[in-house]
A and B are shown apart, each in its own frame.
Chain A
Amino acid sequence: MNEIVAGFTTALELIISLDPEVIDTAIRSMTISLTATFFATLFAIPIGSVITFSEFHGKKALINLIQTLYALPTVLVGLFVFLLISRAGPLGFMRLLFTPEGMVIAQMILILPILIGLTISALKGVDSTILDTLRSLGATRYQFMKSVVREARYAIMAAVVLGFGRAISEVGAAIMIGGNIRGHTRVLTTAISLETSMGNIALSLALGIILLGIALVINLMLAYVQNR
């Protein structure tokens, strides 16, 4: 119990004193995961729309596969991206291993299935009368998709928040691709893992609390946007 209390006290101290290293790590966590979420969303919405509104052979199987990939283990993504971008790998010449860019790629791959899958669910949930109206008004394919995506925007935004949550909380890929380099690729989750292995339990808890604080702020921002 004492350790948990000490964790909260340490978290407060670190936040109030604006500990530069902790702030730096928190900002890095946020920027890497937000960037990954941004690019994943950029790919997921068009892909999800195309899958939802096209009829093709194996569509159900494809959706099943996407939903299965929700369970993609972070370490597996880390390993896959590692083999891809390690110096001896096919993309080794780009020198992406142990860089924030490499971490963005890994997190993007990790959350892409969730975003595509939930975009499909969101679009399916749009009232069918709206679809019929759009068709009867003679909307082009692009206009049609754009309107339906707009109708489903809140459900899609919820998917984006979930994706961001998975990205910022994962540690497996972050440690394999980033290497937890101080001042370079250290993010909150890998810092927690390191501090725990160094025996700094209170500090680990404090960093975890800060991570949850970031998630809270992001969620409040979303709630604000939704209520407008």
Chain B
Amino acid sequence: MKWNSIILVAGLLIAGLLVAGCVSGDAPAVPDATPVPTAAPAPEELRIATTTSLYDTGLLDHLTPAFEEQYNAKLLIVSAGTGKALEYGQRGDVDVMMVHDRAREDTFIAEGNGVERRVIAYNYFVIVGPESDPAGIRGTEPEEAFQTLMTEGKAGTPGVVFVSRGDASGTHAKEKAIWKAAGYDYATDVQNSGDWYVEAGTGMGATLVMANEKEAYTLSDIGTFLAYKGDLQLVPLVDSGDILLNIYSTMLINPEKHEGIDTELGKAWINYLISDEVQQEIKTFGVEEYGQPLFFPASGKWDLMGVSEAEVSAPVV
């Protein structure tokens, strides 16, 4: 009888100790008999909220080790949709944000929540769909493609279904912007306009899988689409047009709004991202695996992206 409880208590104590160990994992090991005077201090933590596409493609995991070593930092990266990342930023739960929705970023900055925005990379959204393309949008302009999808979808043309992210992400915001440019009001003309328009309410990967199962159309960032391509029968149908431009930015959370924002390390991170070496890394990232780059470096392309030169190349001081 007694042994049972002893084993149980011992097991739970070990569990508790392990947690304590994993929590204070960065604490220095048992002090050495002859302490080395130059022992590195515990790494400083930087909290980053990032949009899923930068993380799920593996780009950030590729870029972080060099930074962590150079600055003796530990990057705590939370990957969430742009909507959620903005929420974390607004509540002061992170030090730095990496997002891709210019319009909401502008509001965020205007409201004093974010400072020192820098553009780090860009790529293009693609409208993907079944190879057979029942709506016939292949090679058209994005706005025209959306108009055709709406017309054919409402008319009940077999096989014309559009799956929307429907989750307030950056990609969803872009989709809404295209609907607007195509001449529709999103809430009144698009949502609830029929069974052809499906709101998934989930991440990009899951949305692509859903579109694939339904043999439907969807809007995707190119990075996630390429990462998923092997499992999908969907093909890119519309991949050019100014409106498909996808701009990734990073910014500091305004330290005047929240106490304890790590501004110094945050600045270093932003400057690291716009540095020549990292921009070069972004250029080649994924080429080996996917046969094409997932992101284009922002360096030198402010004109193409329609942003100021300072936003691309001026270091944060």
Contacts and interface: CB of A to CB of B under 8 A. Distances in A.
A98 B3 contact: no
B7 A87 contact: no
Contacts, number: 86
B15 A38 contact: yes
B12 A196 contact: no
Contacts of A88: 91-93, 258
Interface string A136-147: 000000000000
Contacts of A201: 231
Counting chain A residues whose Cβ lies within 8 A of the other chain, the interface size class is 35 or more
Nearest to B204: A197
B203 interface: yes
A196 B173 CA distance: 23
Contact of B4 (A179, A199, A228): A228
Nearest to A160: B8
Interface stretch (A24-32, A58-66, A68-76): A24-32
A50 interface: no
Contact of A196 (B8, B74, B78, B206): B206
Nearest to A42: B12
Contacts of B18: 27, 30-31
Interface residues of B, number: 38
A32 B19 contact: yes
B166 interface: no
Which of A153, A184, A194 has the most C-beta atoms of chain B within 10 angstroms of its own C-beta?
A184
Contacts of B112: none
A197 B53 CA distance: 10
B205 A31 contact: no
Interface of B: 1, 3-4, 7-8, 11-12, 15-16, 18-19, 22-23, 47, 52, 56-58, 61, 74, 76-80, 91-93, 203-206, 227-228, 230-231, 258, 260
5 contacts: A35-B16, A184-B76, A197-B203, A198-B57, A198-B227
Interface of A: 27-28, 30-32, 34-35, 38, 86-89, 92, 95, 97-101, 104, 150, 153, 179-182, 184, 194, 196-199, 201, 221, 225, 228
